[in-house]
Structure 1
Amino acid sequence: MGTTKIWKVKTNLARAIDYATDSRKTALKSDIGNVIGYASDEGKTLSGRYVTALNCNVTYAKEQFETIKKRFGKEDGILAFHAYQSFADYDDITPDMAHEIGVKLAEELWGDRFQVIVATHLNTKCLHNHFVINSVSFADGKKYHDCRSTYRHMREVSDSICRQYGLTVIEKPTGRGEPLHLSQKEKAGIPTRYSMAREAVDEAISLSLNLREFELHLKSLGYSVQLSQRRKYWTVTPKGWKKPIRLMRLGKEYTNERIMQRLSANPESVRFKSFQKRKPLKKQYFLLTRKDRIGKVGGLRGLYLKYCYMLGYLPKYTQDANKVPEILREDLLKCEKYTKQIRLLSKYEIHTDEELFSFLEQKEREKEDITEMREILRKEYRRVLPESEKKQLKAQIAALTSALKDIRGEVRLAEDIKVNTESMAKKMEQIERENQREVMSR
C-alpha cells in the first residue's frame, strides 16, 4: 500500500537534499558500520545505494538546482518541493522494488521537465521514498504548481504503479484524520476543540428526538450549526472560533447517518431528562476544598493556580470543558503550557513581578557565561589534539549546549508569564463581576 504527500521547501534547499540522500537512511542495514564512518566524514558528499538523480547529479544537486533558477531569473519564493511515498509494513516489498517504484513515479510525474532526487529510506519500519523536486523547470523555466489536482494525479499514478507490482492501494481515501497535535493532547487528557465538540454533540443527542431539537440544544451550548439535509457534511462552530468542524471528523459515531440513527433510537423520556431534579448530596463534614487551599496561595503562583482551577485543569481534577466560562475557553489548549509555568514558579520560588525580572536577569547572565565558555572549548577543540582529549572536549561542549537549551526554555516560560499574568487577572476580574451580577439579579 503506497501513500503519498508533497509539501513546499521555502528555506534551506541543501537541508532538504541532504535529508533525502542521507546515507544512514538509504543504505542497507548490513552496511551500517561503514555508513556511520562514511556519513560522519564531512569532506565527502552523502550518497546511498538507493539514491537516483533525474536530470541532475546527486553530488552537485543544490548547485544545479540553483543554476536553473538563475538562468530563468526565478531565485525567490519556493525553492523546491519535498514529497514522499510510503509503503505499508505488511506489503511484500523489497528495497529494490520500493526504489524502482519511486523512480518510475518520478519519471512519469516530473522527469520530462524537472530535476528530481529520488531516495529510498530503510531506517524505519515502513520502506518509503523521498523526492526533492526543483521548483523551476529546466525545459521552459516555468514553476511547478502544486494544488489539489496535481496531488490527486500524484496519488493516482502512484496507485497505478503499485497495482502493476501487485501491491495494495487505498481505493477510497477517507481524507485527513484529526491533527496529530490535537490527538496527542486528547490522549494526555487535555481538552481540545474536537473533544469539547464531541462532548457537546453527545449531550445534545442524549436530550433530543429529532434534528431540530438536536440543533436547539447545540445552540444552547454556544455552538453555531449547519445541519441542512442538502449539505454533504454537517458542521458545528464553537463560540469564538471562525473555522467550523465537520462532525464526521469527530469519529464514526458522528456521521450524518449515524447521528440520525442515534436520535431515532432515543426514548420519549429524553425530553424530560433535563427537567429531572437531581438529589443533592448531603455534606456530612466541613472539609477544606481544593478551591479553599488554592485561595490561600498568593503571588504569581496563586494567580496561575486559580486560573487553572477555573479552566478545570489541575492534577486529579477535571470538569466538563463546555461548562468552562466562555471567556476562558480559548485558553483550554494552553493548559499544558500553564502547568510548565506553574512548575517554574514553584521551582525557583518566584512570587512577585520583581522576583520574575530578577530571575530573567540572572538567567541572561548564566546564558552569557555558558556561551563564552562553550566558545573557548570550541576553539580548543579545533586545535590538533589527541583523540582522547577531543572526546573529552566534545562531551563538555555537549553538556554546555544542553544547559543552554534548558536555560533558553526557562527564559521563554518566564517571558510568557510576564505577558500572561495581566490578561489572566483581567479575565478573572471580568468573571467575578459577571458572577456578582448574576447573584444580584436573583
Structure 2
Amino acid sequence: MAVTKIKRIRGNPGDPLSYIGNPEKTRNRGFSEADRQALADIIAYAADEKKTEKQYFTTGINCDVENAREQFNITKLSFNKTGGIVCGHCMQSFDGYEVTPEVAHEIGVQMAKELWGDRFQVVVATHLNTNNVHNHIVFNSVSFVDGKRFHFCTEETMRIRAVSDRICRERNLSVIEHPEGKRVPYSLYKMEKAGMPTRYNVARQALDEAISVSANMEEFKSELKKRGYLYQFNPRRKYWTVTPPGWTKAIRTDRLGDQYTREMIQQRIFSNDIGVRMQRMRNECRSTNHYDLKRRIDKIMGRSGLEKLYLRYCYELGYLPKYRQNPVRLHAVLKEELLKCDLYSEEAKFLARYNISTKEDLEKKMKSLMEDYSSISAQRSELRQKLRRKMPVEEEAQCREKVRELTAELKDTRKELKLCRDIRERSGQVERNLETVIEDRTRGKERKPL
C-alpha cells in the first residue's frame, strides 16, 4: 500500500527541511540566496547517505544525482525562470515491510519516468531510516524541453496517486481503495492531543451543550444561536456545517467525529427525554448565592486601567495568572479566545510587573524597551567585531560569554516588546468583548423572575 504526497519547494531559508542538508557555497548568477538554499537543501535531503545506504538507492533521470542542483539551475537560467517555486518534492511511502528497498526504488523510478521523465529532470531516492520504506522524488519545476513550469494543482495530485496505485496493483501490492477525505490538520491534532482548546473541540463542546438541552431540531438551532454559532442544516445539502463566532470558515459537523454526523445528531436529540426543557428552565431561573467573603473578582475590581482590563479578561476565561485553570461556562464571544489564554495571562503579568495602567504608560515602556534593545544590540555587534581579531584565549572566552549574555537579554527584551505591541493591538477588542459579556449577563439577570 503506497501513500503519495507532493509539496512545492520555494526559495525560503526557513523551510522545514532546510536544517537537514548543508548548502554549497558556490553562486549562480540570477539566483537569490533563498532559491539556492532551498534547492540545495531538498536535493541534499533526498540523497542523504545516512538514509539511502551510501546512495545505493538513488537514481537521476535526465540528470546526474551528484550535480543535480547545478543542472536544475542551468535549465532555469537557459529559460530565464529562476524565481518562484524551485522544484517539486513528491513522497511515496509503503506500508511497513510490504516491499523490499530494491522493489520500492524500482517503483519510484518507474513512477517518476512515467510522470515527469519526458520533460523534467528528476532525482529519486529511497530512504530506509524509518519503519516505512519510502521514496523521495525531487523534480525540477522548469521543463528542459520547452521551459514551461510544472503546474501544481489538484488534478496533478490525483494523477500521481492514480499512477502509483496502478503500478502497485501490477506488482500485486495493496492500495487504498477508498481513501479518507481531508483529515484534521496536524497542528490541530497535536493541540487536541495535548488537551489545548481548538476550534474543533470548542465546537464539539458547543454542539454537545446544545444537544443536551434540546428535544427537537428547532430547539437545537435556537441553542446554537444563543452560543453565537451560525449553522447550515439544509436537508438538500450532503453535509451539515456550523460556523463558530468570530470565524468566517464553516466546519463540517462530520469532521468533528462519528457522534456529529447528521444522522447521529438527530438521533441524540430525539432520544432526549422531554425533561431537558425543565432542566433548561431551572438553569435559567437559578439564583446565585451571595457571600460576604472577598473573592478574586473583588481583588481584580480594585485594580485600574489596562491591568484591571486584562485580569478581568483572564478571570472570564478561567485562566488567571498564579492560579490553575478553572473551567467556567464561557460566553459565546470568549470561546475562541481560549486559544490565546496563555498569551493573555502573560500580558496580565507583564502589566502588573511594570505597573502599566494607561496606554501612555504602555507607549513609554515600549520606547524604553526599544532604546534598551538598540543599546544591547550595539554592544553585541561591537563584541562580535572584536572577536574577529586575534586575542588571548581567556579574553576571547570572556567576550564569547558576554555575547551569550547579551543575546539572552535581547531575547527577553524582544519578547517584552512583542507583548507591548500585542497589548496595544488587542486591548480594544478585549474591552469590546468584555462589554458584550457584561451587557448580556446584565440583560439575563433582568429577565429572571424575582
* One-letter code aligned to 2:41: Y
Name the CA distance, whole Å, in 2 between partners of 1:26 and 1:346: 51
Q: 1:105 to 1:285 in 2, by over 3 A?
A: same
* One-letter code aligned to 2:8: K
Name the CA distance, whole Å, in 2 between partners of 1:25 and 1:147: 26
Name the CA distance, whole Å, in 2 between partners of 1:406 and 1:86: 43
Match of 1:71 among 71, 78, 86: 78
**Conservation of the 8 A alpha-carbon contact between 1:248 and 1:254:** yes
List alignment gaps of at least 5 residues for structure 2.
12-33
Match of 2:40 in 1: 18
* One-letter code aligned to 2:252: R
Name the CA distance, whole Å, in 2 between partners of 1:312 and 1:128: 46
Mapped pair 1:233 → 2:239: yes
* One-letter code aligned to 2:6: I
Q: 1:281 to 1:418 in 2, by over 3 A?
A: closer
Match of 2:163 in 1: 157
Q: 1:92 to 1:319 in 2, by over 3 A?
A: same
Q: 1:434 to 1:100 in 2, by over 3 A?
A: same
Mapped pair 1:265 → 2:274: no
- SS of the residue corresponding to residue 4 of structure 2 reads strand
**Conservation of the 8 A alpha-carbon contact between 2:191 and 2:197:** yes
Equivalences for 1:6-155 in 2 at 5 Å? 6-11=6-11, 12-22=34-44, 26-28=48-50, 50-88=57-95, 90-93=96-99, 95-121=101-127, 126-155=132-161
**Conservation of the 8 A alpha-carbon contact between 1:13 and 1:80:** no
Q: 1:333 to 1:2 in 2, by over 3 A?
A: same
Mapped pair 1:318 → 2:327: yes
How large is the Cα RMSD of the aligned pairs? 4.0
**Conservation of the 8 A alpha-carbon contact between 1:300 and 1:352:** yes
Q: 1:167 to 1:135 in 2, by over 3 A?
A: same
Match of 2:302 in 1: 296
Match of 1:360 among 357, 366, 370: 366
- TM (norm. structure 1) is 0.78
Q: 1:28 to 1:330 in 2, by over 3 A?
A: closer
**Conservation of the 8 A alpha-carbon contact between 1:113 and 1:139:** yes
Name the CA distance, whole Å, in 2 between partners of 1:263 and 1:431: 28
Percent identical pairs in the alignment equals 42
* One-letter code aligned to 1:56: C
Equivalences for 1:237-386 in 2 at 5 Å? 237-276=243-282, 283=289, 286-314=292-320, 315-321=324-330, 324-326=331-333, 328-329=334-335, 331-348=337-354, 350-376=356-382, 378-379=384-385
Which whole-Å deviations, capped at 9, do the CAs of 1:131-189 have from their partners, x for residues lacking one? Answer: 33322211222221122221112123233444566655433222222223333444455
**Conservation of the 8 A alpha-carbon contact between 1:51 and 1:119:** yes
- SS of the residue corresponding to residue 135 of structure 2 reads strand
List alignment gaps of at least 5 residues for structure 1.
32-46
Q: 1:220 to 1:408 in 2, by over 3 A?
A: closer
* One-letter code aligned to 1:66: N
Name the CA distance, whole Å, in 2 between partners of 1:403 and 1:95: 50
Q: 1:232 to 1:91 in 2, by over 3 A?
A: farther
Name the CA distance, whole Å, in 2 between partners of 1:111 and 1:220: 58
Which whole-Å deviations, capped at 9, do the CAs of 1:56-99 have from their partners, x for residues lacking one? Answer: 344444443333234334344433323323345x4445555544
* One-letter code aligned to 1:317: N
Name the CA distance, whole Å, in 2 between partners of 1:120 and 1:390: 46
Name the CA distance, whole Å, in 2 between partners of 1:379 and 1:239: 53
Match of 1:40 in 2: none
